[in-house]
Structures are given as C-alpha cells and as structure tokens.
Chain A
Amino acid sequence: MGARRTCNPAWGFVAPALAAIGLFFFAPVLAAFVLSLTDFDIYALGDWRSLRVVGMANYARLVHEPLFWVALRNTAYFVVVAGPLGMAVSLAAALLVNARLVRAKAFFRTALFVPVVTTLVAVAVVWRYVYHPRIGGLNVVLSQLGVPAVDWLGDPRWAMPAIILLAVWKNFGFNMIIFLAGLQGIPERLYEAARLDGAGPWGEFRHVTLPLLGPTFVFVTVITMIGYFQLFAEPYVMTRGGPSNSTLSLVLLMYEDGFRWWNLGSAAATAFVLFAIILLLSVGAMRVRARAAGAESAP
C-alpha cells in the first residue's frame, strides 16, 4: 500500500521525456567536460586504455593555438556584424509590413519569411552560384552599377561578408515575425496620445515604438546571438572555412578537430569555450533586461 502511494502518476508522464533529455543531452554535456580534461584521440577511439587525464592541458593549448584565435575572431566578426545587421533588417521589415496603409500584409509577411524554413545546405548551394565571380548574379548586378567584380568566396576579405549576407537573407524573417508580434502588442492609444502631443512618425517611433519593444529586443538579441555563435553549415558548404581560414568558425573547428582528426579531447575543450562565451553573454543580456525593467517600475 505504502509503496503505491509514493508512486505519483505524474512521474509516469515526465519520466520518458526527462530520461531522453537526460541520457542524450545532459549526460553527454557533463561527459563533454570530462572528455575535455583528457587526451582522447584516435588511439583512444580504438583502445580506451590509452586514454590519459591531462587536466586543463587542452584549454592551455587552445590559448597557444593560432587557429583557435582565428576561429574565435571569425565567429565574433560574424556575430557582431550579422546580428545587429539582421536585427535592423528584421525591424525595418516588421515596421513596413505593420504600417497601417499597407495592403496584402499576409502576402508580404509570407514572402519575406520563406527563406527561414528553407534548408540551409540547399540555399547555400544556390548562393555559391550567386557569388560566382564571373557569372554570379551579384557581380552581374554590381557591374551594371559600375562596381568592379569581386571574388566573393575566393577573397579572404570578402568571404565572411558573403556568408553574413547569406545568413541575414536566410534568417531576418524569423526576427521580423517576433518584432511584428511585439508591434501588435503596443496599444493604439499610445500612438494617439503621442500624436496629440505633436509627435511626427519619427517621434512616434522614438518615444513609443522603441521603448515598448525593449523586452522583444532583449529576447531577439539573446536567441540571435546563441544561434549565430553556432555558425557551421554556411562555411562548411560554401567555403570549408577558407580561403586561408577566413571563414573558419568555432563549431567548424570543433567538427574538423573532433570528427575529422578524432582529437575528441581538444574538440570538447573548444565546445566548452563556446558554451562559456554563450553563457556569459546570455547572463549579461538578462542582467541588462532585469535592470531596465527595475528602472521602469521605479517611481
């Protein structure tokens, strides 16, 4: 009797999902930390007994590994440029689609959103041709405007901007939808009040739209940043990290290190550095949001 009472049926509902997530996500994350403290390599893959614990040596080596810094710099470049640029495009698109006088809102919303649902590998294949130096659509259009041809994916200076453009094109629709929801949550009477106070369209935007979108901004910033730090498929398909490592990202480095050269120990260290960066920045963004919310509610 007693045993039956302690068996809460709720556990039967949560146990399968928690077991799946625990076994195939949380346990591997913990194991990844342990792995990052070992010299796990191709020999250990064949025979576990050759495995040695090396403490923080993998992390110490990363600090002296030029490729790691290149990958970190490239990833940061991507996040810092593609993030704000994409958010600006998303917000502009949301404001246009949401404008009172616009007809066929649903059509424009759908058209601008379609790239989000497409398969990245497939559209990256298409964009490789768009970026072709001689016959690619981009250079053909630019040459009409008198701009000299650029070897987008072959020039170390232009390969990352090309990947940024692809990412912005592919992803801006997602944040546009979230901004649209945020815009529709702003009460119309606030705009009426602003107009009564003599505000023009710019004044309405500055003093009503922007402040009230604050929480949406924080959310969009955090998810965009988390997603963009995991840059992988774009450079994998478009450039394989080249030319001269100019598009090598942290995850691409981890993939090559771990699954091509089977240095799973040092690849795990790279993965954990990525995790630490994302964690710090997310906590930072949440703090900023909490402080802003506190300042608003203060008298």
Chain B
Amino acid sequence: MTLRRAATSVLVHGVLVLGAVLTLAPLLWMVSASLMPAGEATAAPPRLWPSSPTLAHYETLFARLNVWRYVANSTLLATAVTLVSLVLNSMAGYAFAKLRFAGRERIFRGLLASLVIPGQVSMLPLFLLLKQLGLINTYWGVLVPGLASIFGIFLVRQYAQSIPDSLLDAARIDGAGEFRIYRSIVLPVCRPVLVTLAIVTFLGTWNDFLWPLIVLTDQDMYTLPVALANLLGEHVQDTELMMASAVLTVLPVVVVFLALQRHYIAGIVSGALKE
C-alpha cells in the first residue's frame, strides 16, 4: 500500500516537473538566446546555452535602437492608466456597493451584461473620434479606453459591500462629507482589492497590443509590444537581438507578477467566483 502511494507520488511529481519544464522552456531559452553571440542561436544543431554570455545585444538595443524610448512609453502609459482607473473605478465601485441612487441596480446589471461586447467593435468609431479630436498618435489616445473599466468597478463593488454601514453612518453623524468618507474610510478598507486591481490593470495595459498599434503611428510613440512587432519586420534575421528585446518586454511584467502574485491571483479568483 505505501509502496503504491510512493509510486503514485513519484509519478505525479514527475508529470508536474515535466509540465513545469515544458512551460518554462520557451522563456528560459529566450533569456539564454538573448545572451548568445550573434549567430549562435540559429546554429544547427541549436544550442541551449551561450558559449560565452554577452550583453552586446542589449547594448545595441539601448545605444542604437532607441529602446529607452519604448520602455519609457510603456512605463508611463501603464502607470497613468493604472492610477486614473484606480480612482475612477474605486469611486464608482464604492457608490454601486454602498450609496443609494435611482437606477443603481439596473445600471450595474447593464454594465455587467456589456462584458460580452468585444472591445474591437468600439475601435473603428473610437479611432474616428480621436482623429477629430486630434488625439491620434498621442499618449491620450492610448489611455482613453482604459480610463475606467467595468471589470474594475465590479471588483471594487464586490469588496466594498463588506464595509459595515454603521461605520459609514457614524462618520456621517460626525459631520464628514461623502468625499471625506471615501478618502479616509473606504480607500483604506479597500486597500487589498485596490492592490489587486492595480496589478491587473498595469499588466493588462503593458501587454496590450491592438489598440496602441492602431493609435500610435510614430515610432517615437511606440510601446514595447508595438516596437517589438515592428522590429520583427526589420531584424527578423537577428535572432539574438530579437530575443533580447523580447526579454526587455516580458521581464518587467514577470517581475511585477512574481513579487505580487498573491494579490494578482486573488483578483482573478474573486472575479471568477461570483458570476
């Protein structure tokens, strides 16, 4: 019996280790190839490790190919969208959970139902609107669709529902205004869900591709994913260089995820469990 248990344990762990290796292999090879001298990644038979690791491709990217610019664009846009949407979503989510107003439930149900509308439907008219406003090829143009999100409002509302009404009423009796209550009671209480939402939004904006591809026309404005897709057209033969730019694009989000994964996964799960 114990022998069978031991055999099962070895088998299950073996499958898990194999799965983890297969899952991580493309990412590890990406890092390894980015450190190889030019030409080594495409040698036959392919190499797993660089013969002599070099940072030359990263130097090329920063010195000649203007990568600083894309890193700055991506960081700025992801940070701005995260900050603005945190404010708008937390205010709305709190109001849908705790404040009374006409049509509250109906509006909220309408928002939830519209989660099935694919975002691409809005992109053609939105492009025309931004063109009229002169916002094509600007940071504003990229961040406009992310200013508030239905998912974010939903997530904050879920959490804010657990705030006791007595706490809010006590503050009202003490003469605190509604905004003051939001700032000094609601925001601190909602901190965990706001951290979750911040990570989800930051990663989502950083990784976003289609909308920045449409709005940004000037190379200097590109985000990392758009710049990378563009670079692929010109430097497809420079495997090691492409791998170095892929590493630069992926590394920040993977680091953010690894540092804060508990909050990130909690957010996905709480979004999934109700609904």
Binding site for B on A (CB under 8 A): 8-14, 16-18, 20-21, 24-29, 31-32, 35, 93, 96-97, 99, 101-103, 107-108, 110-115, 117-123, 125-130, 132, 134-137, 140, 169, 173-174, 177-178, 181, 185, 216, 219, 226, 229-230, 232-233, 236-237, 251, 254-255, 258-259, 264, 267-268, 271-272, 274-275, 278-279, 282
Given A10-B99, A181-B269 in contact, is the A114-B254 Cβ separation under 8 Å?
A: yes
Residues of chain B having any CB pair with chain A under 8 Å: 5, 8-9, 12-13, 15-16, 19-20, 23-27, 29-30, 33, 41-46, 88-89, 91-92, 94-96, 99-102, 104, 107, 111, 114, 116-129, 144-145, 147-150, 153, 178-179, 182, 203, 206-207, 209-210, 214, 224-226, 228-229, 232, 239, 242-243, 245-247, 249-250, 253-254, 256-258, 261, 264-265, 268-269, 272-273, 275
Residues of A within 8 A of B153 (CB): 17
B229 touches A121 (CB 8 A): yes
Pick 29 A–B contacts, CB within 8 A, sort by A: A9-B99, A14-B107, A17-B92, A21-B111, A21-B149, A28-B121, A29-B125, A32-B125, A101-B8, A101-B9, A108-B16, A110-B258, A111-B24, A112-B20, A114-B23, A117-B257, A119-B250, A121-B249, A137-B46, A219-B272, A226-B118, A232-B209, A233-B209, A258-B123, A268-B121, A271-B124, A274-B120, A275-B118, A275-B121
Do residues A118 and B254 form an inter-chain contact, with CB atoms below 8 A?
yes
Which applies to chain A's interface (DSSP): helix, strand, loop or mixed? helix
Q: Are A20 and B122 in contact (CB under 8 A)?
A: no
CA of A127 to CA of B123, assembled, Å = 28
> 13 additional contacts, CB 8 Å, given A28-B125, A216-B272?
A8-B99, A24-B126, A96-B15, A112-B23, A114-B257, A117-B253, A122-B247, A122-B250, A125-B246, A126-B27, A129-B33, A251-B118, A259-B214
Q: What residues of B have a CB within 8 angstroms of the CB of A216 in the complex?
A: 272
Asked if A17 and B89 make an inter-chain contact with CB atoms under 8 angstroms apart, the answer reads yes
List the 4 closest pairs (A to B, CB-CB), nearest first: A31-B125, A13-B95, A17-B92, A10-B99
Q: Which residue of A lies closest to B42 (CB)?
A: A135
Question: How many angstroms from the CA of A48 to the CA of B15 in the assembled complex?
Answer: 61
Task: Decide if B99 touches A13 in the complex (CB within 8 Å).
Answer: yes
**Interface core residue of B24, B29, B116 (most chain A CB under 10 Å):** B116
Residue of B nearest to A172 (CB): B23
Given the interface pairs A13-B99, A119-B207, the reply to whether A126 lies near B9 with Cβ below 8 Å is no
CA A275 – CA B114 in complex, angstroms? 11
Given contacts A24-B144, A274-B118, contact A177 B253 (CB under 8 A): no
**Contacting residues, chain A, for B30 (C-beta < 8 A):** 122-123, 126
The residues of A that contact B42 with a CB separation of less than 8 Å are 129, 132, 135
**Interface SS, B side:** helix
In the bound assembly, the distance between CA atoms of A169 and B117 in angstroms comes to 26
Most buried by A among B12, B95, B111, B120: B120
List of A residues within 8 angstroms of B107 by Cβ: 14, 18
Question: Bound state CA distance, A134 and B99, in angstroms?
Answer: 63
Q: How far, in angstroms, from A8 to B102 measured CA to CA in the complex?
A: 9
B94, B123, B272: the one contacting A178 at CB < 8 Å is: B272
**Cβ-defined partner of B26 (8 Å) among A8, A126, A279:** A126
Q: Is the CB of A103 within 8 A of B13?
A: yes
Residues of A within 8 A of B179 (CB): 9, 12
**Distance to closest chain A CB from B99 (angstroms):** 4
Instruction: Assess whether B29 is in contact with A137, with CB atoms less than 8 Å apart.
Output: yes
Which residues does chain A contribute within 8 Å of B275, judged by CB atoms? 219
Looking at A26, A129, A174, A275, the one whose CB has the most chain B CB atoms below 10 A away is A129
Contact B209 A135 (CB under 8 A): no
Give bound CA distance, A169 to B246, whole Å. 17
A32-B124 contact, Cβ under 8 Å, with A13-B99, A114-B27: yes
B206–A274 touching, CB < 8 Å: no
Chain B residue numbers with a CB within 8 Å of A35 are 124-125, 128
Report if A26-B254 is in contact (Cβ < 8 Å); known contacts: A17-B148, A140-B46, A259-B214: no
| Distance of B67 from chain A, by nearest CB (Å) | 13
Do A24 and B122 have beta carbons less than 8 Å apart?
A: yes
Known: A14-B95, A125-B242. Contact between A118 and B258, CB under 8 A? no
